[in-house]
């Protein structure tokens, strides 16, 4: 057998004929039984001797066979065939008793039960048969042919039991064991990827440059371990990759193996844990044995927190199978030498629940954090994935990157893929900027739902609500540029006001936080100005504004209470779930905290109300434009505030961009931070 056809788990495959032997034997026995019935014309009708006499007297029997067996005593067997026409005639005339009718229906042969040998040997029965016009045929069967049907019927229950165990017990266990039968139940399920199969290098990984630099020494060790051994250095046995879901941990591990040109074993932590205690530990031993045979190589343990949780923790105590599996991993990582050329790379998004024994030096020596990409990283990731699709020359990936803060690498890949699907559905030759914008909104907020029917009054209130958010944000300093305003429902939101940050923010000032609170209240105030009533549409805005004000007071020290942390302490279990909250301050302090939160919220609310009241004419223009066009870009917002014609602008823009309504791409330097014609007020400070 060639190397390519050998199984990846290291075990020799069983021949296909041997694997299917039990099933072949079962089918053969069933076929023999079916043939035995076919040869005899089906199962014979069981008649009493009285019924036999009655049918014989009426001429419904075709022949009589008296079966003798050498050396047997007691009962004998009388069999034969019915005359179909005569029997049907008797049935049609109703001359057959109901008891006999039920027995002989749809039968070709009969069998007489309860006949003693003495009755057959006597002269009377032969005289009766002669009188009925029947000539008995003496049949002598050897012992083997007579016992065959009896033998088949006797072993039938055992055949059914064997079939039950095969299909419902042994076959599932064999499949669970990876195709090698029950004996391979404890073999590793790791998939082996050769360098030719992975074909992934650092060129395919973007947005995590710092993490790539941290693992370069591992690549050098896998390429030339002697270089480090000459100086007496010890390369780390294991590396743990931390990061949110979709940030590229698995891709980075494959790229390490691809850059080093070594085999790559991939397995998930959940593949070790089974209902049988000890199976996971057996699979760990088998995995490391395979790795030693393929060294130098890389072992990748995805979602290691499934088996690497802190032992003996949690409200329910420990888990024997998981803890034995973890113990075996610890033993194996201590057992192999660094000169074997084996590096273990693990990935998790829950580093807080890992057992400390995993992270000590000598096991997983290095912890590499893979965070969400910044704006440059997002642009690089989008560029990598955009190489797989046809994009228009005017596509500006920097603009998409600026509009996707907090997106992971997987989400950015989904944006490019959704854009390609959207372009194909619209019969375009390439992906345009508009396709990417729509795909980004779809991934972040969900598909637009034009089918949701709204009354004119609700639509007007929603337009004023979103116009209030947008205008309030435009009138305040420290605000991000407005990117798009829409009243088309997406996901759970009825409308949205989207902003386009010029850069990623890592530190948030007090004025920036207050600006966002004022913006959140702007929608509620604008809606109240047009309808004269309050609605539930601003519930999420109020919740977010209140939470932001609470964190300013309790965590950030941005209130009159001073730089003191009043945050509630949380008691957690190993799953990271909150089970209790405690606080170490008095009731008077709690009352003061509530007063500060109320003060910040109230003054931001009044600030938003003042801004919108003073600029009601601009608010009305923006709301009317939203009612008419439903979605406005930043350029169209400015046109609406200047009482311009948005329809004419869109027609000119479509001609300029070849049928797409997407504005011409702009670089960050060309994008103004403010819209002309709007005088931003002072920072919304709190007195």
CA distance 218 to 298: 10
Question: Into how many domains does the chain fold?
Answer: 5
Domain final position from 80, 111, 141:
141
* DSSP calls for 389-407: S-B-TT--HHHHHHT-TT-
Distance separating alpha carbons of residues 235 and 222, to the nearest angstrom: 10
Residue 291 lies in a domain: yes
CATH code of the domain containing 352: 3.40.50.300
Mean pLDDT over 645-654 rounds to: 77
Instruction: Give 591's pLDDT tier (boundaries 50, 70, 90).
Output: very high
Q: Are residues 537 and 394 in the same domain?
A: no
Contacts of 238 by beta carbon, 8 Å cutoff, 6+ apart: 333, 343, 344, 345, 346, 363, 364, 365, 366
Q: Are residues 479 and 561 in the same domain?
A: yes
Run of H or E including 162:
helix 143-165
Domain membership of residue 683 (yes or no) is no
Instruction: Give CA–CA dist 65/111, Å, rounded.
Output: 10
Task: For residue 547, name the pLDDT band (cuts at 50, 70, 90).
Answer: very high
- Residues 302 and 247 occupy one common structural domain: yes
Q: Within a domain: residue 623?
A: yes
The string of pLDDT tens digits covering residues 268-327 is 877 776 655 567 778 888 888 888 888 788 888 888 888 887 776 554 444 567 778 888
CATH assignment at residue 422: 1.10.8.60
User: In whole numbers, what is the pLDDT of the chain averaged over residues?
Assistant: 75
- Is 397 contained in some domain? yes
Query: Are residues 313 and 419 both part of a single domain?
Result: no
Is residue 137 included in any domain, yes or no?
yes
Residue 425 lies in a domain: yes
Domain C-terminal end among 314, 348, 369: 369
Confidence of residue 40 (pLDDT cuts 50, 70, 90): very low
Say whether both 585 and 616 belong to one domain: yes
Q: Which helix (H) or strand (E) holds 510?
A: helix 510-531
562 has a pLDDT exceeding 80: yes
Tokens of 461: 């209130």
Same domain, 510 and 582: yes
- Residues forming the active site: 466
With a CB cutoff of 8 Å and minimum separation 6, the contacts of 565 are 554, 555, 557
The CA distance from 330 to 358, in Å, is 7
Q: pLDDT class for 245, splitting at 50, 70, 90?
A: confident
**For residue 296, cis peptide bond before it (omega within 30 degrees of 0):** yes
pLDDT recorded at residue 187:
64
- Domain end residue (candidates: 401, 421, 445): 445
User: How large is the average pLDDT for residues 138-142?
Assistant: 54
Domain containing residue 115:
40-141
- What pLDDT does 543 receive? 93
For 110, phi and psi rounded to 5 degrees?
-135, 160
Is 190 in contact with 265 (CB distance < 8 Å)? yes
Axis-axis angle for helices 587-614, 510-531 (nearest 10): 60
Alpha helix positions (H), 450-503: 456-475
* Residue 385, domain member (yes or no): yes
Same domain, 166 and 260: no
Q: Are residues 46 and 8 in the same domain?
A: no
> Cα separation of 85 and 46, whole Å?
20
Tens of pLDDT, residues 440-469 = 888 887 777 766 667 788 888 899 999 999
CATH number at residue 136: 3.30.720.210
**3-state DSSP helix/strand/coil % of the chain, to nearest 5:** 50, 15, 35
- DSSP state, residue 674: S
Q: Kindly report the pTM of this predicted structure.
A: 0.60
Do 251 and 286 lie in a common domain? yes
Q: Are residues 489 and 580 in the same domain?
A: yes
Q: What is the pLDDT of residue 686?
A: 41
Average pLDDT over residues 90-97: 73
Residue 496 placed within a domain? yes
Phi first, then psi: give them for residue 67, nearest 5 degrees: -95, 125
Residues 198 and 99 occupy one common structural domain: no
Residue among 359, 308, 311, 356 nearest 329 (CA): 308
Q: Do residues 203 and 164 share a domain?
A: no
């Amino acid at each position: 057998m060639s190397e390519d056809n050998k199984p990846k788990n290291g075990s020799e495959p069983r021949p296909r004929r041997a694997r299917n032997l039990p099933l072949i034997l079962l089918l053969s026995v069933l076929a023999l039984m079916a043939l035995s019935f076919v040869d005899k014309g089906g199962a014979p009708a069981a008649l009493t001797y009285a019924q036999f006499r009655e049918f014989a007297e009426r001429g419904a029997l075709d022949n009589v066979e008296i079966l003798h067996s050498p050396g047997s005593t007691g009962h004998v067997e009388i069999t034969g065939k019915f005359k179909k026409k005569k029997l049907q005639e008797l049935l049609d005339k109703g001359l057959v008793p109901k008891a006999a009718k039920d027995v002989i229906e749809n039968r070709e042969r009969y069998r007489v039960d309860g006949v003693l040998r003495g009755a057959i040997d006597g002269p009377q029965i032969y005289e009766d048969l002669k009188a009925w016009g029947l000539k008995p045929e003496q049949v002598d069967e050897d012992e083997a042919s007579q016992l065959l049907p009896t033998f088949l019927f006797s072993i039938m229950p055992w055949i059914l039991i064997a079939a039950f165990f095969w299909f419902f017990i042994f076959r599932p266990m064999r499949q669970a064991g990876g195709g090698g039968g029950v004996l391979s139940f404890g073999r590793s399920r790791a998939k082996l990827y050769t360098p030719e199969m992975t074909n992934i290098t650092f060129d395919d990984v973007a947005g995590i440059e710092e993490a790539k630099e941290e693992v370069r020494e591992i690549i050098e060790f896998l390429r030339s371990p002697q270089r480090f051994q000459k100086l007496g250095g010890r390369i780390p046995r294991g590396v743990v990759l931390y990061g949110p879901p979709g940030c590229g941990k698995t891709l980075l591990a494959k790229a390490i193996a691809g850059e080093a040109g070594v085999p790559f074993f991939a397995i998930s932590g959940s593949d070790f844990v089974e209902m049988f205690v000890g199976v996971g530990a057996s699979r760990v031993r088998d995995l490391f044995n395979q790795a030693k045979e393929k060294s130098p190589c890389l072992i990748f343990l995805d979602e290691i927190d499934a088996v690497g949780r802190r032992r003996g923790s949690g409200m329910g105590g420990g888990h024997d199978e998981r803890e034995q599996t973890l113990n075996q991993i610890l033993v194996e990582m201590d057992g192999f030498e660094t000169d074997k050329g084996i590096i273990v790379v693990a990935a998790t998004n829950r580093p807080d629940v890992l057992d400390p024994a995993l992270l000590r030096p000598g096991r997983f020596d290095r912890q590499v954090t893979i965070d969400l990409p910044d704006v440059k990283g997002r642009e690089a990731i989008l560029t990598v994935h955009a190489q797989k699709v046809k994009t228009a020359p005017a596509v500006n990936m920097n603009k998409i990157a600026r509009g996707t803060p907090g997106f992971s690498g997987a989400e950015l890949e989904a944006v490019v893929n959704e854009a390609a699907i959207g372009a194909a559905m619209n019969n375009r030759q390439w992906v345009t900027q508009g396709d990417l914008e729509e795909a980004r909104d779809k991934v972040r907020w969900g598909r637009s739902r034009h089918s949701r029917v709204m009354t004119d009054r609700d639509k007007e209130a929603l337009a004023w609500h979103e116009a209030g958010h947008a205008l309030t944000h435009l009138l305040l300093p420290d605000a991000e540029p407005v990117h798009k305003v829409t009243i088309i429902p997406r996901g759970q939101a009825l409308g949205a006001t989207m902003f386009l940050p010029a850069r990623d923010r890592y530190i948030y000032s007090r004025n920036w936080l207050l600006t966002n609170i004022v913006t959140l209240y702007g929608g509620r105030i604008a809606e109240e100005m047009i309808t004269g009533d309050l609605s539930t549409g601003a519930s999420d805005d109020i919740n977010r504004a209140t939470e932001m004000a609470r964190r300013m007071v309790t965590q950030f020290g941005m209130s009159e209470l001073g730089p003191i942390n009043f945050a509630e302490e949380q008691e957690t279990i190993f799953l990271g779930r909150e089970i209790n909250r405690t606080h170490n301050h008095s009731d008077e302090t709690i009352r003061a905290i509530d007063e500060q939160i109320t003060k910040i919220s109230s003054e931001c609310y009044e600030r938003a109300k003042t801004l919108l009241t003073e600029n009601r004419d601009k608010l009305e223009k923006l709301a009317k434009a939203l009612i008419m066009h439903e979605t406005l870009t930043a350029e169209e917002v400015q046109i609406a505030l200047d009482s311009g014609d948005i329809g004419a602008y869109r027609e000119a823009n479509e001609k300029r961009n070849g049928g797409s309504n997407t504005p011409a791409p702009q670089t960050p330097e060309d994008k103004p931070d403010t819209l002309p014609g709007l005088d931003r007020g002072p920072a919304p400070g709190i007195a």
